[in-house]
Structure formats: structure tokens, C-alpha cells
């Protein structure tokens, strides 16, 4: 009888280490789940209880190139500074009303920058795009996230938010603002749990005619009052400082 030599055993790769599998169509569920569980673990580890979400244009420029968006950069920076300075004196210290942004440049950078100037931490939740949007340098180390799936990024942008401030912006800002206001309108998110601010009436009154929607019967008068309009960092901060403690 011919003697058969035993083959050298190869230990198969564990599925969670198999990048080919994880990046396959079959691995999509695990990729989605990881974008849910990973931020949860990180935010809990760093003791973030609630956030203030800043939305706005990635094109606002601190160097002031002449665009009407540019002045909003510094107004967002100032508002984030005031919120963070105030929130850091609340108990438990540094855990409530942490500034959160989409992680990119423009208004997002401004808000992270303002929080840093106040000496507080801030969050950046970036998105992977064909043309990469690099995270801005003012996000707190350990609180910078990059998502592949837009819907998981939107979930985490809103999940811990006690207030959302929509600064002037383009398609992305409009998409996020209208998704949030729809959640409020339909009761999927309680109006008693999240404040929505539309910042910059000089801009927004030219972009969206909410009253025309009321007159057309597309929304109700009550729907048109789902958000509060502010035109200065001081006005927005005073509104939040008054209303946020009432929601706890």
C-alpha cells in the first residue's frame, strides 16, 4: 500500500479577519452593524451623553473670499464656543451638549474649532466619498469617525442630539435639515427631545419659502413652527441656554 504523507495543516482565517469576505456583498450586514456598534462603544467610553449638532456648508471659508457664506463661518465658531464654555460648567462636567459636526471643512470646521477654543471636546462624523473629505483638524482625537453609509452617519449625527442648528448650506445641509424636520413632523423624533434652529434668515428666506408651502396646503401652520429662527450667535445661545435645561 502506498504511503500517504499528511499535508501541512493550514489554519483558516477567522471570518472577522477576512477582508475579502467583509468587503463582499455577503458581508454588507456586518459592515452596517459595525457602523452602529463602533460609534456607540466609542461615545460611551469617552462619556458623551448628549450633543449639539451643527449643520452647514462645507464651502464657508474662514479666509473670507467674498461669498455670503463666509461670515457664517465665524458666527458658527462663536456659537460653538459659547455653547461649549457654558456646557463645561454643567454636571456631569464635559458630558452634556458636546458639539458634533459632519467632520469636514466650512461650517463643520468652524463649530469644532469653537469648541476647541473653549477648551472642550467635539465630535466629527465624516463620510467616505469618491473625492475624499478629510476630517478637519479641530475634532477631538478619539471622536473622529468616518462612515461608509450615509444612513448610518445620519443616525449617529442625530441620535444623541438635544439640538440641531442648521447654518446656511447646500444640498447636503438641505437633505439633513429636511430629514430631521420630517422626523419631528411625523413624531418619529419627539419635539420635546430635540430643538431645531434655522440659523441665518437672510439666507434661508431666499432659499426655502415655508409660507408658500403653508398656503399651498403642503404643510400646516404648526409644521412651519417646528424650528426656531436665529440671526446671531448671542440670540441662538440665549435660546438654547434657556430651553435645553427645560428638556432634561
- CATH of the domain spanning 51-247: 3.40.50.450
pLDDT greater at residue 173 or residue 13: 173
pLDDT above 70: residue 131: yes
Q: Classify 17 as helix, strand or coil.
A: helix
What values do phi and psi take at 115, rounded to 5?
A: -65, -40
Tell me, what's the pLDDT at 225?
96
Q: Determine the pLDDT at residue 94.
A: 87
Q: Where are the domains of the chain?
A: 51-247
φ, ψ of residue 126 to 5 degrees: the values are -85, 170
Kindly indicate the confidence band of residue 95, based on its pLDDT and cuts at 50, 70 and 90: very high
Q: Residue 43's closest CA among 210, 157, 213?
A: 157
Stretch among 62-66, 72-76, 119-123, 178-182 having the lowest mean pLDDT: 62-66
Looking at residue 1, its pLDDT comes to 57
Q: What is the pLDDT of residue 13?
A: 75
What is the Cα gyration radius of the chain? 22
81-110: average pLDDT: 96
Question: Which residues 6+ apart lie within 8 Å of 88 measured at CB?
Answer: 94, 118, 119, 120
Q: Which residue has the higher pLDDT, 177 or 64?
A: 177
In this prediction, residues 190-198 reach a mean pLDDT of 96
Give residue 70's pLDDT: 92
pLDDT for the residue numbered 22: 80
Position 26 scores a pLDDT of: 86
Amino acid at each position: 500500500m502506498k504511503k500517504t504523507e499528511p499535508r501541512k495543516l493550514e489554519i483558516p482565517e477567522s471570518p472577522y479577519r477576512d477582508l475579502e469576505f467583509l468587503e463582499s456583498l455577503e458581508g454588507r450586514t456586518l459592515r452596517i452593524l459595525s457602523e452602529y456598534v463602533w460609534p456607540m462603544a466609542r461615545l460611551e467610553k469617552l462619556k458623551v451623553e448628549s450633543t449639539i449638532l451643527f449643520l452647514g456648508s462645507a464651502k464657508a471659508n474662514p479666509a473670507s473670499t467674498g461669498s455670503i457664506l463666509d461670515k457664517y463661518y465665524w458666527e458658527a465658531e462663536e456659537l460653538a464656543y459659547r455653547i461649549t464654555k457654558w456646557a463645561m460648567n454643567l454636571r456631569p462636567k464635559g458630558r452634556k451638549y458636546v458639539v458634533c459636526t459632519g467632520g469636514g471643512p466650512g461650517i463643520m470646521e468652524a463649530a469644532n474649532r469653537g469648541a476647541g477654543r473653549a477648551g472642550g471636546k467635539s465630535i466629527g462624523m465624516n463620510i467616505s466619498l469618491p473625492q475624499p473629505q478629510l476630517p478637519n483638524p479641530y475634532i477631538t482625537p478619539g471622536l473622529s469617525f468616518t462612515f461608509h453609509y450615509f444612513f448610518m452617519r445620519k443616525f449617529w449625527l442625530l441620535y444623541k442630539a438635544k439640538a440641531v442648528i442648521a447654518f446656511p448650506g447646500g444640498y447636503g445641509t438641505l437633505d439633513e435639515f429636511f430629514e430631521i424636520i420630517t422626523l419631528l413632523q411625523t413624531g418619529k423624533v419627539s419635539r420635546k427631545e430635540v430643538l431645531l434652529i434655522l440659523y441665518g434668515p437672510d439666507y434661508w428666506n431666499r432659499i426655502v419659502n415655508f409660507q408658500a408651502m403653508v398656503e399651498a396646503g403642503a404643510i400646516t401652520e404648526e409644521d412651519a413652527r417646528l424650528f426656531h429662527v436665529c440671526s446671531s450667535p448671542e440670540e441662538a445661545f440665549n435660546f438654547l441656554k434657556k430651553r435645553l435645561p427645560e428638556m432634561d
